[in-house]
Amino acid sequence: MASRKNTQLQSEEWFGTMLAPGERATLSVVITQSYAGNNISIPVHVWRGEKRGPTVAVTAAVHGDEINGTGAIRRIIREQPFDVVAGTLVLVPVVNILGFEHCERYLPDRRDLNRSFPGSTGGSLASRMAASFFKQVIKRCNYCIDLHTAALRRTNFPNVRADMSDPKLAEFARAFGAELIVESKGPKGSLRASACKIGCHTLILEAGEVWKVEPTVVEYAVRGITNCLQFLKMIDGTLDEPEYRVETNTTTWVRAKQGGFLEFHVAPGDIVDKDAPIATNTDLVGMQRNVVTAPRDGIVLGMTTIPSVAPGDPICHLAFPRTGTLHKISGVHASLSAKTLHERVRGDLARSMLITQADPQSL
């Protein structure tokens, strides 16, 4: 017969420290060793609620140069915008500490940590680090929110990526409250795909650029994390619903046909019609070479931030919602107030690009 005592939450061991219900602490997790043979650890903030609930990890900088998520996690730790009342929240500001130390995406052995999960204790440096993190953190979690940015020289309008064929993960991903959800399982060896395989329902947020902590991207990430924790009843409050919702499994990169220098005609988060001008490609003195157009109706998910391109270089990442969806949301999209986070993040991401009207004569 279960005693009353057994139904009450007990202290729990986290990385060598006993944490009582309601306690929070910053702890160290040894992840690998340096060339000098010293232990290398990452800081992990563990926050336990008083009541029973799920264990959720929020991770950032699995790619060591993608630190927008690091900014979001630091804000949660320092400002405590909510109180964890149930379950356990595990906050990891930097997973790939070796890449982070050099402001780089990859590890010193040039491997991608996010293609090395679940890892192996007898494998490469990347594989062993992945195995260590996976065993010590991910295996203890029911859910994970993994925060990324676009790769070098690109930016992303905030979008959630998740395997929407998993009903529990689909609910969790929708709760995040992103306007854009890209349905995908994630590449082999990614933290997301490997975590999902062992029952840790994991989504990623792709937002902004490398090497930056962009204020509105951080705000977007914190709002999404807060929504997810509310959905799981780990914190109090009600969900902040997105301005509209698009779920798609179809995206494509529009690429440069010729080398040249781009003037953009769209910004991240814009809706584009089929054949609408995306960029005008010019030579170095500004004479027009060609106009790059949208292959079909879509939303600008991401863009290059560097205007000089060679043939084949990616210019614009377009998401193609299901037929009729764009028509439904375009009115909402066009009428959004400048005060909404959607519009503020859209404006911020476009701020450092030259965006002009296309020359009507060239179309």
Residues near Zn ion (CB under 5 A) are: 63, 66, 148
* Min CB(149)–Zn ion separation in Å: 6
* Min CB(208)–Zn ion separation in Å: 11
Instruction: Name the phi and psi angles at 219, rounded to 5.
Output: -60, -40
Q: Which residue has the CB atom at the shortest distance from Zn ion?
A: 148
Tell me the pairing of strands 201-208 and 143-148: parallel
Cβ proximity to Zn ion: between 72 and 256 the closer is: 72
* Min CB(63)–Zn ion separation in Å: 4
CB 228 within 8 A of CB 175: yes
Cβ proximity to Zn ion: between 66 and 247 the closer is: 66
What dihedral angle (degrees, nearest 10) is formed by the CA atoms of 161, 94, 240, 56?
A: 80
Cβ proximity to Zn ion: between 163 and 206 the closer is: 206
What dihedral angle (degrees, nearest 10) is formed by the CA atoms of 340, 338, 75, 94?
A: 90
* Min CB(148)–Zn ion separation in Å: 3
CB 262 within 8 A of CB 280: yes
What dihedral angle (degrees, nearest 10) is formed by the CA atoms of 328, 334, 339, 345?
A: 80
Cβ proximity to Zn ion: between 66 and 297 the closer is: 66
* Region of residue 103 (phi > 0: left; psi between -120 and 50: alpha; otherwise: beta): left
* Min CB(112)–Zn ion separation in Å: 9
Beta bridge partners of 303: 155, 316
Helix (H, G, I), strand (E, B) or coil at 167: helix
Cβ proximity to Zn ion: between 68 and 248 the closer is: 68
Cβ proximity to Zn ion: between 40 and 152 the closer is: 152
Neighbours of 182 (CB within 10 A): 22
CB 272 within 8 A of CB 297: yes
* Min CB(66)–Zn ion separation in Å: 5
